[in-house]
């Protein structure tokens, strides 16, 4: 009997121990489940925050925000009339948005900003893009990085056959053609701005004078500095061939290699007679309108309407802007090194022959005085001794 009791006692103890073990395992399982649920909730919150910030980064300001942008975002320090597109992929505008939406939980850094610039030139991190903004969000006790790439800045150059206007090109035709069937080319939509260049100067601690207002094109760098800036962005200085390809209205035969390409003089039409610049060459008494100046801001436009940065009413067929008029634009040009400056600018009157696509001057790339430019056929009045504005844009190639 005593033996039976001992066995029963042992069985009971075993059941108790087993029950305790099962209870502990169930408790641990529930804890793991709760922990996993908390982690899933945090991830969902991070993804939701990332989606909101990414969307604002790419879309920029709403019309109501832009209407009162001086109050909503004093960091932009706007001095001129600027198109709303300027707020897209704009670090200063994003900073204002994060400042005005503290509930997102974004961490302010030691410089008082809600973002930091991340570049391969200032970071040893692996697997990062050439240039991005990093925003850090804190949820519970963890910090998560949200990296934002500049997806607004450039436009894709479709795969076609293109022509380049050389000094010896015959009328209406190209004597030098190329294609991009084996690569993807992206070119900046706008000229690089002071804001972007100042950001480069600050990030790398360069001994280069910052320029203002922030929204205006950066027009006082040397040619070497332009190339270094583009390299900072993981790009190169845009070539004359690529910018002109993105500007010349394409021929109907440009979709296949080896076809004859027709050259058109203006970026908005195949019919020269439809362009106000063509008409004004033949009749200088024709009035210049605000609409005309929105397409090409030539010298006469100063008396008609203010120059607008990031003007989007002057688009070429490919979606790049500021291709005629405004400040000069410097190019990379290995094919014709002495043809590296777009001639069409606000230094020439509307009647000037330089206001056609493919017309180029030569700039030595050192200083911005009239003596640093080879004016060739026509030197405009009023440029002697002046500091001349020369802008630029960047491009990138992706080979297959």
**pTM higher than 0.85, yes or no?**
yes
| pLDDT band per the 50, 70, 90 thresholds, residue 30 | low
Neighbours of 144 (CB within 10 A): 18
The region, left, alpha or beta by phi > 0 then psi within -120 to 50, assigned to residue 385 is: left
DSSP lists the bridge partners of residue 162 as: 178
Chain segment 65-120, per-residue pLDDT in tens: 999 999 999 999 998 889 999 999 999 999 999 999 999 999 999 899 999 999 99
Q: How far apart are the first and last CA of the chain?
A: 88
CA distances in angstroms from 354 to 168, 325, 358, 393, listed in the order given: 16, 10, 9, 20
Element (H, E) at 136: strand 131-139
Nearest to 356 by CA among 347, 338, 343: 343
Q: Is 328 helix (H, G, I), strand (E, B) or coil?
A: strand
Chain segment 134-181, per-residue pLDDT in tens: 999 988 888 999 999 999 999 999 999 999 999 888 887 888 899 999
Q: Identify the pLDDT of residue 20.
A: 55
| pLDDT band per the 50, 70, 90 thresholds, residue 18 | low
Average pLDDT over residues 314-331: 95
Average pLDDT, the chain: 89
Give the C-alpha separation, 254 to 156, whole Å: 16
Asked if pLDDT for residue 10 goes beyond 90, the answer is no
Asked if pLDDT for residue 35 goes beyond 80, the answer is no
């Amino acid at each position: 009997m005593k033996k039976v009791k001992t066995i029963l006692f042992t069985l009971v103890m075993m059941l108790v121990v087993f029950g305790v073990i099962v209870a502990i395992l169930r408790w641990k399982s529930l804890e793991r489940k709760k922990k996993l649920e908390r982690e899933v909730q945090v991830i969902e919150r991070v993804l939701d925050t990332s989606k909101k910030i990414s969307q604002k980064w790419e879309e920029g300001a709403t019309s109501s925000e832009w209407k009162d942008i001086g109050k909503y975002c004093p960091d932009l320090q706007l001095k001129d009339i600027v198109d709303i597109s300027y707020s897209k992929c704009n670090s200063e505008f994003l900073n204002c948005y994060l400042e005005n939406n503290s509930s997102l939980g974004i961490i302010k850094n030691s410089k008082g900003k809600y973002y930091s610039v991340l570049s391969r030139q200032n970071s040893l991190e692996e697997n990062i893009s050439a240039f991005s903004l990093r925003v850090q969000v804190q949820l519970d006790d963890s910090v998560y990085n949200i990296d934002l790439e500049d997806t607004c800045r450039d436009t894709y150059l479709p795969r076609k056959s293109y022509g380049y206007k050389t000094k010896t090109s015959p009328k209406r035709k190209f004597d030098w053609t190329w294609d991009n069937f084996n690569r993807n080319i992206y070119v900046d939509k706008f000229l690089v701005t002071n804001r972007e260049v100042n950001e480069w100067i600050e990030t790398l601690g360069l001994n280069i004078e910052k320029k203002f207002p922030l929204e205006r094109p950066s027009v006082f760098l040397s040619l070497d500095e332009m190339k270094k800036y583009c390299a900072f962005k993981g790009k190169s200085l845009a070539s004359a061939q690529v910018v002109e390809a993105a500007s010349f209205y394409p021929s109907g035969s440009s979709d296949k290699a080896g076809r004859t390409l027709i050259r058109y003089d203006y970026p908005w039409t195949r019919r020269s007679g439809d362009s106000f610049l063509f008409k004004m060459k033949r009749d200088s008494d024709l009035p210049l309108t605000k609409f005309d100046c929105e397409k090409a801001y030539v010298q006469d436009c100063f008396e008609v309407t203010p120059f607008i940065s990031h003007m989007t009413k002057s688009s070429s067929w490919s979606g790049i802007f500021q291709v005629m008029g405004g400040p000069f634009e410097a190019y990379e040009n290995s094919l014709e090194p002495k043809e590296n400056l777009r001639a069409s600018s606000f230094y020439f009157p509307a009647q000037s022959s330089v206001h056609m696509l493919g017309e180029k001057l030569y700039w030595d790339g050192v200083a911005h005085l009239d003596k640093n430019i080879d004016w060739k056929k026509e030197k405009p009045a009023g440029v002697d001794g002046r500091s001349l504005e020369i802008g630029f844009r960047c491009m990138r190639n992706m080979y297959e």
